[in-house]
A and B are shown apart, each in its own frame.
Chain A
Amino acid sequence: MKFRTMAIAAASAAAMVAGAGFATVAAAYEYTVPNLVYRTGPYAPNGIPLANGFIDYMNMLNERDGGIDGVKVNVIECETGYNTKVSVECYENLKNEGESGALIFNPHSTGVTYALIPKATADEIPILSMGYGRTSAADGTVFPYIFNFPATYWSQASVFVKYVGAKEGGMDNLKGKKIALVYHNSAYGKEPIKTLEVLAEKYGFELMLLPVDHPGQEQKATWLQVRRGKPDWVFMWGWGVMNQVAIKEAAAIRFPMDHFIGVWWSGSENDVAPAGDAADGYLAGTMHAPGRDFGAIKDIITHVYDKGNGGGDLDRVGEVLYNRGMLEAIFTAQAIRNAVKIHGTKEINGKQLRDGLEVLTVTEESLSADGLSNFMKPFKVTCEDHEGAGLIAIQQWNAKDQKWVLVSDWIEPMTDIVRGLVKEDAGAFAKENNITPRSCS
């Protein structure tokens, strides 16, 4: 009896799965934009605002303008838990979704980006790893489908060194200084090491490497080493729970917060809030301004949240990572408009969207048209340069007012050094994988 009920349950489950294959209903043409998100797991505190910003902006376009140039955008979220295997499953599941096929993927993880680079290139679907992922993918001749504008980890590392140089009263004063890098012990966290090593040699500072293992809840030993090694500055490449723990530990050993700089993935409200007042003065890189004083966000509130369709809580709109998710959506929308213009058809596919991404140009005019005046600095993507070498600013946490404030000018990365390293690494990748770099002229 028991066996029979179980057999029936199994059979009906199998039938439902089989039925799912035929359940797709034909609808009007839409732009299918999958989003690999993580609203669960140890990286969820950062994953949630990022996912909300993206889906809210696309929903706002659908509400306000009826989509992009009159064609609705269909955002399909797939929950990955920041796990590479699940992300690959999501990618394979979604790549042929909808009439347009998946137009673009946002992996939201450097490890996943590495895993998807060969697959997406073979399937001709662009990947937007905005400010993360494989740095050498900035070389568009070797990585035709991968984009990491507006700036890479290497550019950012060079900006941090420049900022430190300015604070120390000139790049010459870096000699003999000690900089520690606290990093997530993965492909992501290891990204800046190469650049920092090159810069350490050039400017004569000492680099101290302190890895933190996934997920980063245990960092007592790391910060003990910081206390012993007495570095002048600490840089951090962290993500998820690791950020909060690091800031709390730094506060516990009374490390001066204004000498502690996080990558732009370690500089959101979630990261500093748990440390309370002790986090006051903590610094982080950023590619865009925080806050709500932008037309685009006001439109999101009017068209999405006021109608009760928001992806998250209204009071978290305008957080750093929310704005970053929104920025991804804005670039995607602009690339779709470009591609439609280039190919003269509204029914584009992933390959055509790539052409739209390669002419992406952000200017003061385009920013104010998108409702983003003073949000970020202009940059330009080309066929060769998928990074765009955008400008990077440093923001500081003000614990009293509970908000991030920009404390530096927009700093230009050391493009000459970074570009050389990118060429070198991309060349090695091309050789290993028998890729002939395409010509861009």
Chain B
Amino acid sequence: MLYRETGQFKTSYQSDQALFTITQDRFLVGAILAVAVFLIPFGINDYWSKSILLPFLVFALISLGLNILVGYCGQISLGTGGFMAVGAYSCYKIMTSFPELNLIVVIVLAGLCAAGVGVLFGLPSLRIKGFYLAVATLAAQFFLVWMFNKVPWFYNYEMSQITAPPREVFGVLVTSAEASPAAQYLFMLGFVIVFTWIAMNLVRGRVGRSWMAIRDRDIAAELMGVRPLQTKLTAFAVSSFYVGMGGALVFTIWLGTVEVTETFDILQSSFFVLFAIIIGGLGSILGSFLGAAFMTLMPVVLKVLLVDVVGVIPVTAKHIEFILVGSLIIIFLINEPHGMARMWGIAKEKMRLWPFPY
């Protein structure tokens, strides 16, 4: 009833190929975008921006990137932190070497640098598969983080902690602490919207279909004429491009300062994002967003609930939080191994049959 598609006929090729073919979906996405673009910037403050919206958006972008590689192309990667670091440090080098360059261009260039490095570390994927590939990409994580900490050229021979210099985009300050939360939020949101749109189109087109063919059965895909070399390497390139831009945005917009060993540490980046897409749903755009929301917001929500509402002392709250987040992940995965995106699918199914779901 609530979600009925009956009677929605597609009468042209154009409407058949639309991103959202169902009226309700179009309406929902339109409403969310309208709130995100026109409403939130007026009510945003530092806390909402720095602690909730920016981390959610940036991790959504990074999860999207990793989902392309893991979810769509089936290549497991544990090098996410390393590729984020490439994005952040190349962004810093480009920003400080060419101060006049527009920040949007800088971030896209940083993504391209990460894409190059991603292709390099993706080469072993042609020979090794599954867990063995995961171990090989782990090398990217450790090597890249070590390199950015070790070679002083990357941090301009100063302290190893890099800080984003103030930069304006279209006359509005977006980096450094003086930037308004609304400007930073809109800048980040712009990236997320544009690149989500690109990803949605990529995965349903020729490139995306060849990724999925490789994922589902590589030998069969090869027999049908999908070239494993190009397909796997484009997946690594596109994925690292997204992850690298994410790293650059973490550095410039969200944190403003980065210490490579901590920010891009394996637990806080590589595993964090991998968990996000597993919980959200592998091979799903929506899943990347839901997973990023779960992983970034759950600790904050639990902290607010336990400390401010229930009145538990902070350290006990932290211990409870460790236990709860861990058990929530397990509960989620037992109830729905295909992630939160699948749960949303089931919810849609129920709404279709409402008020008599079964």
Chain-A contact segment, one of B64-72, B101-109, B158-166, B212-220: B158-166
**How long is the Cα–Cα vector from A79 to B314 in the complex, in angstroms?**
6
**Chain B 146-174 residues near chain A, CB threshold 8 A:** 149, 158-161, 163, 165-166
**Could you tell me if B265 and A214 are in contact, using CB atoms closer than 8 angstroms?**
yes
Majority secondary structure, A binding face: helix
Whether A270 is near chain B, meaning CB under 8 Å from some CB there, is no
Minimum-distance CB pairs A-B, first 7: A118-B177, A122-B177, A39-B315, A79-B314, A187-B161, A89-B51, A79-B318
How many Å from the CB of A339 to the closest CB on chain B? Answer: 23
Whether B304 is near chain A, meaning CB under 8 Å from some CB there, is yes
Interface centre among B255, B262, B346, by most A CB within 10 Å?
Answer: B262
| CB nearest neighbor in A for B250 | A85
**Could you tell me if B51 and A23 are in contact, using CB atoms closer than 8 angstroms?**
no
Give every chain B residue within 8 A of A19 (Cβ-Cβ): 309
**How long is the Cα–Cα vector from A122 to B166 in the complex, in angstroms?**
13
Give every chain B residue within 8 A of A20 (Cβ-Cβ): 304-305, 308-309
**Could you tell me if A186 and B261 are in contact, using CB atoms closer than 8 angstroms?**
yes
Whether B222 is near chain A, meaning CB under 8 Å from some CB there, is no
How many Å from the CB of A153 to the closest CB on chain B? Answer: 12
**Could you tell me if B350 and A3 are in contact, using CB atoms closer than 8 angstroms?**
yes
Given the interface contacts A23-B309, A214-B261, does A114 sit within 8 Å of B163 by beta carbon? yes
Whether A436 is near chain B, meaning CB under 8 Å from some CB there, is no
Contact with B along A188-203 (1 / 0, CB 8 A): 0011000000000000
How many Å from the CB of B69 to the closest CB on chain A? Answer: 24
**Could you tell me if B259 and A114 are in contact, using CB atoms closer than 8 angstroms?**
yes
Whether A365 is near chain B, meaning CB under 8 Å from some CB there, is no
B-binding residues in A (CB < 8 A): 2-3, 13, 16-17, 19-20, 23, 37, 39-40, 77-79, 81, 83-85, 88-89, 92-93, 95, 111, 114-115, 118-119, 121-123, 134, 185-187, 190-191, 213-214, 428, 432-434
**Could you tell me if A111 and B166 are in contact, using CB atoms closer than 8 angstroms?**
no
How many Å from the CB of A102 to the closest CB on chain B? Answer: 12
Give every chain A residue within 8 A of B313 (Cβ-Cβ): 77
**How long is the Cα–Cα vector from A123 to B179 in the complex, in angstroms?**
12
**Chain B 236-281 residues near chain A, CB threshold 8 A:** 255-257, 259, 261-263, 265, 268
Could you give 17 example pairs across A and B, Cβ below 8 Å? A40-B319, A40-B322, A79-B317, A81-B318, A84-B255, A92-B46, A95-B46, A118-B177, A186-B160, A186-B261, A190-B159, A191-B159, A214-B262, A432-B163, A433-B163, A433-B166, A433-B176
Whether B33 is near chain A, meaning CB under 8 Å from some CB there, is no
**Could you tell me if B318 and A40 are in contact, using CB atoms closer than 8 angstroms?**
yes
Give every chain B residue within 8 A of A92 (Cβ-Cβ): 46-47, 50-51
Give every chain B residue within 8 A of A83 (Cβ-Cβ): 262, 268
How many Å from the CB of B28 to the closest CB on chain A? Answer: 17
**Could you tell me if A13 and B259 are in contact, using CB atoms closer than 8 angstroms?**
no
Give every chain A residue within 8 A of B55 (Cβ-Cβ): 85
**Could you tell me if B47 and A111 are in contact, using CB atoms closer than 8 angstroms?**
no
**Could you tell me if B149 and A185 are in contact, using CB atoms closer than 8 angstroms?**
yes
Whether B330 is near chain A, meaning CB under 8 Å from some CB there, is no
Given the interface contacts A92-B46, A187-B161, A433-B166, does A84 sit within 8 Å of B308 by beta carbon? no
Whether B347 is near chain A, meaning CB under 8 Å from some CB there, is yes
**How long is the Cα–Cα vector from A15 to B322 in the complex, in angstroms?**
22
Other A-B pairs, 13, CB within 8 Å; known A3-B346, A92-B46, A121-B177 = A17-B304, A17-B305, A19-B309, A20-B308, A39-B314, A77-B315, A78-B314, A84-B259, A92-B50, A122-B177, A134-B159, A186-B160, A433-B166
Given the interface contacts A13-B301, A214-B261, does A428 sit within 8 Å of B176 by beta carbon? no
Given the interface contacts A84-B262, A111-B161, A187-B161, does A16 sit within 8 Å of B315 by beta carbon? no
**Could you tell me if B255 and A187 are in contact, using CB atoms closer than 8 angstroms?**
no
Give every chain A residue within 8 A of B261 (Cβ-Cβ): 185-186, 213-214
**Could you tell me if B315 and A79 are in contact, using CB atoms closer than 8 angstroms?**
yes
How many Å from the CB of A387 to the closest CB on chain B? Answer: 17
**How long is the Cα–Cα vector from A17 to B177 in the complex, in angstroms?**
28
**Could you tell me if B158 and A93 are in contact, using CB atoms closer than 8 angstroms?**
no
Q: Which of B256, B300, B335 contacts A2 (CB 8 A)?
A: B335
**How long is the Cα–Cα vector from A166 to B205 in the complex, in angstroms?**
74
Contact with A along B126-138 (1 / 0, CB 8 A): 0000000000000
**Could you tell me if A433 and B256 are in contact, using CB atoms closer than 8 angstroms?**
no
**How long is the Cα–Cα vector from A118 to B55 in the complex, in angstroms?**
19
| CB nearest neighbor in B for A81 | B318
**Could you tell me if A119 and B177 are in contact, using CB atoms closer than 8 angstroms?**
yes
Give every chain B residue within 8 A of A122 (Cβ-Cβ): 177-178
Give every chain B residue within 8 A of A88 (Cβ-Cβ): 50-51, 255
Give every chain B residue within 8 A of A121 (Cβ-Cβ): 177
Interface centre among B96, B300, B308, by most A CB within 10 Å?
Answer: B308
| CB nearest neighbor in A for B350 | A3
Give every chain A residue within 8 A of B176 (Cβ-Cβ): 118, 433
Give every chain B residue within 8 A of A2 (Cβ-Cβ): 335
**How long is the Cα–Cα vector from A89 to B299 in the complex, in angstroms?**
11
Give every chain A residue within 8 A of B166 (Cβ-Cβ): 433-434
**How long is the Cα–Cα vector from A78 to B51 in the complex, in angstroms?**
14
How many Å from the CB of B321 to the closest CB on chain A? Answer: 9
| CB nearest neighbor in A for B146 | A213
Give every chain A residue within 8 A of B314 (Cβ-Cβ): 37, 39, 77-79
